[in-house]
Amino acid sequence: MNLPDQQPLTTLPHGPEFRFVDRLLAFEPGVSGTAEFTLRGDEPFLRGHFPGEPLLPGVLLVEAAAQLAGLVAQSDPTIPPLSGLKLTAIRAAKILGSARPGETVTLHARVTGRMGNLVQAQATATVRGTLVLQCEVTLAGTAG
């Protein structure tokens, strides 16, 4: 299996401590992507969520999905990247599970629409083949 170029990961604007996409598994620029994030277990937020029973917070599953959606959107070869692209809306989010330390989250995001400086995407996350998140996200930035 040919893995996609990992170069799009370098365009994530987040610092390393807030990146929730580790590796691309499949990538169609401007259209869709599949990626992985492995919860190491040493992340500071796990100390309080929940002590003795650490879980990846559901809101961070949504953030991971939005990060992948942003990578896909910003890589469209027919549209210049948007400056300052940020998560601005979450719709139809269902958090159906989570990940524990040592588990890998598989993310999938597909851009479903664009209008001006807005990008709409559908996203899912699975852990060990079980759906743990489905949502729609809107990202917004500025042209140029």
Q: What is the pLDDT of residues 40-58, one digit of tens each?
A: 999 999 999 999 999 999 9
Closest among 75, 79, 65 to 109, alpha carbons compared: 65
**Domain coordinates of the chain in residue numbers?**
15-142
Residue 131: its H or E element: strand 130-142
Asked whether residue 1 carries a pLDDT value surpassing 80, the answer given is no
**Model confidence over 58-94: pLDDT tens digits?**
999 999 999 999 999 999 999 999 999 999 999 999 9
- List the single range of 5-9, 37-41, 49-53 with lowest mean pLDDT: 5-9
pLDDT of residue 4: 84
Q: Are strands 23-28 and 104-115 parallel, antiparallel or unpaired?
A: unpaired
Amino acid (1-letter code) at residue 135: C
- On whether the pTM is more than 0.85, the answer is yes
Q: What is the C-alpha separation between 78 and 33, in angstroms, rounded? A: 17
Asked whether residue 110 carries a pLDDT value surpassing 60, the answer given is yes
Active site residues: 49
Closest among 84, 144, 69 to 114, alpha carbons compared: 69
Architecture of domain 15-142: Roll (3.10)
Residue 67: its H or E element: helix 58-74
